[in-house]
């Protein structure tokens, strides 16, 4: 028997050769073993590409599972908290799945590719959990992370670019819809999904077509402000969209050590994803009980006065500010909303929409630290929610 | 006949900001605009096919972020995108780049002088120190130093404390800075001619002074004190052109219940017994209101739109002597494609920034010499941008809009009015200069709008086409702006207020004068102050 040595370096995505040509910063980090760029030239400009023209983000390291077999629907419906019978072929669902105690293991998107054939995408890896869930079901779960590559094409001109690329019929694709195109003899899957809260698409193709896809996309985008973007710009836009991120705004239940550090979907503001009417799903009993008894935590979107981002701030109830009621998990100044925004976790009953809270912000200027107590209002809508995100067909920009 | 609590004259960004705050406070406000479009000099105009020109102001940085947020202008559709940097093209075929990344910027300066590359750090810190000082006063009413009213004393004490906070040596520096020329200021740091030429442009834009004229160091500051999302000194493009700024403020104004009328030029602000009674329109219609706020420049307000007999003589004389000299022109060009600039490497990110074509201090000063002679610069200072490199909304895909701000361009040619031929010659001068650095530029021109001070005054209403509503010199700043004794937005007759850029803190698409004037009006009406306060140390 020959022993195969484990590759110890970071993987390169099939798009790496093109990204390397554009890279002026040499700032890369690790995303599930893949080298992923923080940025390529200037984070501000990359961020504004998402909001003003089009940013292209390499999704390849995203964990991807292909779920097939006669019981595939039963499997996914039992796995996640939302009713998957409503997700017909050609549709995509944002979903969360929980452990037996109703604590979120992860969130992700489930693509109903063809009748009875699904793809589950998530930031984290879940093969052990999926295998365990599939016991007794006639279903096959295959990790296709390394076989399929993807690009998120996000921003107001993204529709114009894909149209220009020759994807006829793309104008009919509704939000959370997916469709297949023939691309240079291969199958190209396009979904109207993304992590930016803007008009945008995700393109999925097999690895050998990666470079051709990139070239076709950037050629089509030449006059539409297309720009490769890194994680920093994306991170900014996902917060504006009010979307949560694993290991930032919640911890995967399977990875927590201390009790009380995991969260249920109800505590993450995802109650709309929990369907108690469907027959059964993992964690149903625990969640039903939580619904009756009340949750401990509540995830809040905060509009904070002033312009100092509330990184890692404590949250106090206004105006007593005696005991902290929670903390901020994500914070930033939003250039498009011109708002000081944050996601935070507070103890119930705090955090009702419209409630005014206080956050304690520390900020540093030329070595010295200062502190402000800023008023924060709980809001319910995403901070950034332009009409173009929903428009079908979308406008040219 | 319908009456109003207040009439605001002029729907530029300051007039609209003022009107928005008055309406937000609950007043019944009418905003009047002489043109059939709003925005004044903050406008996007569709003058050729599918192109939208930012045909007066063209970049955005000074707009107060506090107002941007407070009036919820983002929700009303305003988005400002920062742009990448800048370039000075040199006659020897080289260029000087201005990059957003600090290390790349250092490397570029070091190509010319390591000493200058190092000096830039100190220059930036010293300039930023002045910016921090002035930024604190942008959303405050200047104190009257001759007054003993508690409000003025408090503001004076604030001014004093901010000044003393700087420390002894930097107080000396500050006083020098406010009075020196931009050339002298740059000489204290740099040795390379092209670097000084590149930085000096900000010291003369919009002003009828040369780089060696005292007071131009402050004008440089005026261009540095803005920010885009906290990046001080950065400039950006308003998505859809500068008209988006006025559109968003107008949308906020209307959302508060305000009323806008376009095609409603004011002939005269009517006065009885030393109090305003309303306005008479050019159509002959009269509208009554106890408060009239003029967003027009101070000369247009008092010399053109009021009866001289309603004003005291010395006041009238001071207004007449207010310096508001025409010094700049503008070319707005529709391009069939992206012009190439062979000096730049292919795919250079610098194309996403401002471009300039004067590479020496000598040429900068020569450009001013022409203005003094009473004609336009034959080798002008051009501040050129192509916003469509990043804005997909202003021209069809692959086509471009180019904005050329041109200095110097006098209000009159040798003391008489411009002719159309001279205007076209002026345009040709600019196009020829750019063509020297871009061989295919001329062939790409589809349409070109040439604007001298004559056109700017006739359309936007700016006296002599002065973009700042009056020179930004020490004698016309702070409590001396527009004229001593009238720096707190109140006019010389009861109920009359001024909210245009002739007032503190001056010109640029800042919206601060409009907001500050609203605060004083609400104060006089004993209504709660709803205007925003400075974000503070940033």
B393-414: per-residue pLDDT in tens? 999 999 999 999 999 999 999 9
Tell whether A178 and A139 lie within a shared domain: no
- Does the pLDDT value for residue B2 go beyond 90? no
Q: Does B537 touch chain A (CB under 8 A)?
A: yes
Give the residue on A whose Cα is nearest the Cα of B387. Answer: A225
Contacts of A218 (CB under 8 A, 6+ apart): A18, A56, A226
- Does the pLDDT value for residue A81 go beyond 80? yes
Span B289-324, pLDDT tens digits: 999 999 999 999 999 999 999 999 999 999 999 999
- Does the pLDDT value for residue A176 go beyond 70? yes
Span B35-45, pLDDT tens digits: 999 999 999 99
B64 is a domain residue = yes
Span A23-45, pLDDT tens digits: 999 999 999 999 999 999 999 99
Instruction: Verify whether the Cβ–Cβ distance A52 to B65 is below 8 Å.
Output: no
Closest CA to A196 of A153, A167, A159: A153
Q: Among A105, A125, A143, which residue terminates a domain?
A: A143
Q: Does A307 touch chain B (CB under 8 A)?
A: yes
Span B443-486, pLDDT tens digits: 999 999 999 999 999 999 999 999 999 999 999 999 999 999 99
Side-chain half-sphere of B98: how many Cα atoms within 13 Å?
A: 22
Tell whether A36 and A176 lie within a shared domain: yes
Q: What is the pLDDT of residue A1?
A: 66
Report the predicted TM-score, pTM, of the whole model to 2 decimal places: 0.95
- Chain B hits for A24, CB-CB cut-off 8 Å, are 101
Q: Using CB atoms, which residue from A338, A372, A397 is nearest to B65?
A: A338
CATH code at position B308: 3.50.50.60
Closest CA to B223 of B395, B60, B54: B60
Q: Among A115, A143, A171, which residue terminates a domain?
A: A143
**Mean pLDDT, rounded, of chain A:** 96
What is the DSSP code string of B433-479?
A: HHHTT-TTHHHHEEEEEEE-HHHHHHHH--GGG-TTSS---GGGSGG
What is the DSSP code string of B184-224?
A: HHHHTT---HHHHHHHHGGGTTTSS--TTSTTHHHHHHHHH
Q: Using CB atoms, which residue from A160, A336, A365 is nearest to B79?
A: A336
Judge if the upstream peptide bond of residue A333 is cis by omega within 30 degrees of 0.
no
How far apart CA B316 and CA B337 sit, in angstroms, is 51
B481 is a domain residue = yes
Tell whether A47 and A150 lie within a shared domain: yes
The ipTM estimated for the assembled molecules is 0.91
Instruction: Verify whether the Cβ–Cβ distance B392 to A337 is below 8 Å.
Output: no
Q: Does B73 touch chain A (CB under 8 A)?
A: yes
Tell whether A35 and A109 lie within a shared domain: no
- Chain B hits for A156, CB-CB cut-off 8 Å, are 392
A276 is a domain residue = no
B518 is a domain residue = yes
A236 is a domain residue = yes
A104 is a domain residue = yes
Give the residue on B whose Cα is nearest the Cα of A55. Answer: B390
Min distance A383 CA to chain B CA atoms (Å): 10
Mutate to test the interface with A, among B75, B79, B348, B536 (most CBs of A within 10 A): B79
Structure tokens at A218: 């950037």
**Domain residue limits at B10:** 6-80+240-322+467-524
Give the residue on A whose Cα is nearest the Cα of B75. Answer: A337
Judge if the upstream peptide bond of residue A319 is cis by omega within 30 degrees of 0.
yes
Tell whether A23 and A44 lie within a shared domain: yes
Give the residue on A whose Cα is nearest the Cα of B125. Answer: A366
- Chain A hits for B390, CB-CB cut-off 8 Å, are 45, 48-49, 52-53, 225
B286 is a domain residue = yes
Q: Hey, what's the torsion of the CAs at A85, A91, A95, A99, to 10 degrees? A: 50
Q: Does B239 touch chain A (CB under 8 A)?
A: yes
CATH code at position A85: 3.30.70.1400
Strands B291-294 and B496-498: parallel
Considering its fold, how many domains does chain A have in total? Answer: 3
Instruction: Verify whether the Cβ–Cβ distance B79 to A51 is below 8 Å.
Output: yes
Structure tokens at A258: 């201390």
Instruction: Verify whether the Cβ–Cβ distance A45 to B352 is below 8 Å.
Output: yes
How far apart CA A43 and CA B406 sit, in angstroms, is 32
Q: What is the pLDDT of residue B94?
A: 97
**Domain residue limits at A92:** 64-143
Q: Using CB atoms, which residue from A333, A335, A397 is nearest to B392?
A: A397
- Chain B hits for A45, CB-CB cut-off 8 Å, are 82, 84, 100, 352, 390
Q: Does A292 touch chain B (CB under 8 A)?
A: no
What length does chain B have? 538
CATH code at position A349: 2.40.30.110
φ and ψ at residue A308, rounded to 5 degrees: -95, 115
Tell whether A163 and A228 lie within a shared domain: yes
Q: What is the pLDDT of residue B230?
A: 85
Min distance B226 CA to chain A CA atoms (Å): 15
Give the residue on B whose Cα is nearest the Cα of A395. Answer: B393
**Mean pLDDT, rounded, of chain B:** 96
Q: What is the pLDDT of residue A321?
A: 64
Q: Among A81, A111, A143, which residue terminates a domain?
A: A143
Span A327-380, pLDDT tens digits: 999 999 999 999 999 999 999 999 999 999 999 999 999 999 999 999 999 999
Instruction: Verify whether the Cβ–Cβ distance B537 to A41 is below 8 Å.
Output: no
A25 is a domain residue = yes
Q: What is the pLDDT of residue B129?
A: 92
């Amino acid at each position: 028997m020959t022993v195969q040595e484990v590759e110890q370096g970071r993987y390169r995505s099939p798009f790496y050769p093109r990204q390397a040509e554009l890279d002026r910063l040499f700032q890369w980090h690790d995303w599930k073993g893949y080298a992923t760029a923080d940025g390529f030239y200037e984070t501000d400009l990359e961020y504004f590409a998402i909001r003003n023209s089009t940013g292209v983000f390499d999704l390849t390291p995203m964990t991807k599972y292909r779920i097939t077999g006669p019981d595939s629907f039963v499997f996914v419906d039992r796995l996640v908290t939302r009713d998957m019978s409503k997700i017909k072929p050609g549709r995509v669902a944002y979903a969360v799945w929980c452990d037996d105690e109703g604590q979120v293991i992860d969130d992700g998107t489930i693509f109903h590719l063809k009748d009875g054939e699904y793809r589950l995408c998530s930031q984290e890896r879940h093969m052990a959990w999926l295998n365990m869930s599939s016991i007794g079901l006639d279903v096959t779960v295959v990790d296709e992370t390394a076989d399929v590559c993807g690009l998120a094409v996000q921003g107001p001109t993204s529709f114009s670019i894909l149209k220009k690329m020759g994807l006829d019929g793309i104008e009919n694709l509704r939000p959370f819809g997916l469709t297949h195109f023939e691309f240079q003899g291969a199958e190209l899957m396009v979904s109207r999904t993304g992590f930016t809260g803007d008009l945008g698409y995700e393109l999925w193709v097999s690895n050998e077509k990666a470079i051709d896809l990139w070239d076709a996309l950037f050629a089509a985008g030449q006059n539409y402000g297309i720009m490769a973007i890194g994680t920093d710009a994306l991170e900014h836009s996902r917060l504006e969209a009010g979307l949560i991120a694993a290991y930032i705004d919640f911890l995967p239940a399977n990875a927590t050590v201390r009790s009380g550090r995991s969260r249920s979907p109800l505590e993450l503001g995802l109650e709309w994803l929990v369907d108690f009417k469907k027959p059964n799903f993992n964690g149903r009993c625990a969640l039903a009980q939580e619904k009756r008894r009340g949750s401990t935590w509540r995830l809040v979107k905060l509009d904070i006065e002033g312009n100092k981002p509330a990184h890692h701030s404590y949250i106090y109830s206004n105006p007593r500010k005696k005991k902290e009621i929670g903390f901020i998990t994500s914070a930033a100044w939003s250039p498009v909303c011109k708002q000081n925004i944050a996601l935070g976790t507070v103890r119930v009953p705090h955090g009702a929409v419209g409630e005014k809270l206080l956050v304690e912000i520390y900020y540093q200027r030329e070595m010295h630290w200062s502190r402000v107590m800023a008023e924060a209002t709980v809001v319910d809508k995403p901070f950034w929610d332009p009409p173009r995100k929903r428009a079908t067909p979308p406008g040219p920009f | 006949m319908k009456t109003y609590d207040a009439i605001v004259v002029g729907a530029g960004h300051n007039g609209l900001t003022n009107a928005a705050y008055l309406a937000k406070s609950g007043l019944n406000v009418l905003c009047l605009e002489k043109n059939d479009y709003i925005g004044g000099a903050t406008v996007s105009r569709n003058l050729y096919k599918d192109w939208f020109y930012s045909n007066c102001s063209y970049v955005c940085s000074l707009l107060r972020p506090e107002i941007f947020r407070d009036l919820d202008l983002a929700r009303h559709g305003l988005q400002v995108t920062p742009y990448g940097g800048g370039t000075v093209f040199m006659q020897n075929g080289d260029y000087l780049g201005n990059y957003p990344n600090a290390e790349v910027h250092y490397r570029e300066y070091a190509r010319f002088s390591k000493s200058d590359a190092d000096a830039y750090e100190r220059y930036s810190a010293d300039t930023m120190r002045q910016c921090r000082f002035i930024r604190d006063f942008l959303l405050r009413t200047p104190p009257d130093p001759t007054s003993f009213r508690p409000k003025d004393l408090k503001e004076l004490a604030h001014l004093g404390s901010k000044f003393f906070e700087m420390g002894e040596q930097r107080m000396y520096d500050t006083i020098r800075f406010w009075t020196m020329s931009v050339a002298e200021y740059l000489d204290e740091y740099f040795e390379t001619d092209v670097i000084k030429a590149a930085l000096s442009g900000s010291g003369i834009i919009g002003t009828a002074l040369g780089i060696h004229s005292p007071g131009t160091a402050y004008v440089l500051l005026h261009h540095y004190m803005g920010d885009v999302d906290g990046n001080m000194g950065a400039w950006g493009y308003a998505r859809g052109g500068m008209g988006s700024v006025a559109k968003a403020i107008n949308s906020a104004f209307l959302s508060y219940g305000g009323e806008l009328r376009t095609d409603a030029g004011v002939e005269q602000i009517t006065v009885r017994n030393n109090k305003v009674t309303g306005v008479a329109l050019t159509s002959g219609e009269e509208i009554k209101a106890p408060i009239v706020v003029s967003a027009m420049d101070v000369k247009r307000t008092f010399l053109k739109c009021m009866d001289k007999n309603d004003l005291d003589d010395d006041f009238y004389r001071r207004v007449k002597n207010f310096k508001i000299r025409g010094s700049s022109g503008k070319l707005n060009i529709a391009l069939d494609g992206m012009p190439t600039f062979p000096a730049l490497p292919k795919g250079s990110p610098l194309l996403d920034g401002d471009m300039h074509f004067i590479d020496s201090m000598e040429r900068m000063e020569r450009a001013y010499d022409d203005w003094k002679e009473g004609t336009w610069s034959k080798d002008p200072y051009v501040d050129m941008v192509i916003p469509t490199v990043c804005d997909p909304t202003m021209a069809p895909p692959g086509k471009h809009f180019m904005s050329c701000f041109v200095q110097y361009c006098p209000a009159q040619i040798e003391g008489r009015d411009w002719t159309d031929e001279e205007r076209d010659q002026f345009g040709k001068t600019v196009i020829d200069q750019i063509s020297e650095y871009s061989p295919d530029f001329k062939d790409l021109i589809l349409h070109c709008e040439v604007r001298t001070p004559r056109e700017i005054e006739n359309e936007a209403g700016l006296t002599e086409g002065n973009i700042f509503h009056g020179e930004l010199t020490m004698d016309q700043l702070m409590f001396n702006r527009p004229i001593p004794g009238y720096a707190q937005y109140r006019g010389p007759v009861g109920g009359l207020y001024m909210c245009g850029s002739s007032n503190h803190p001056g010109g640029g698409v800042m919206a601060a004068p409009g907001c500050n004037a609203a605060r004083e009006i609400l104060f006089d009406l004993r209504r709660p102050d709803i205007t925003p306060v400075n974000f503070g140390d940033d």
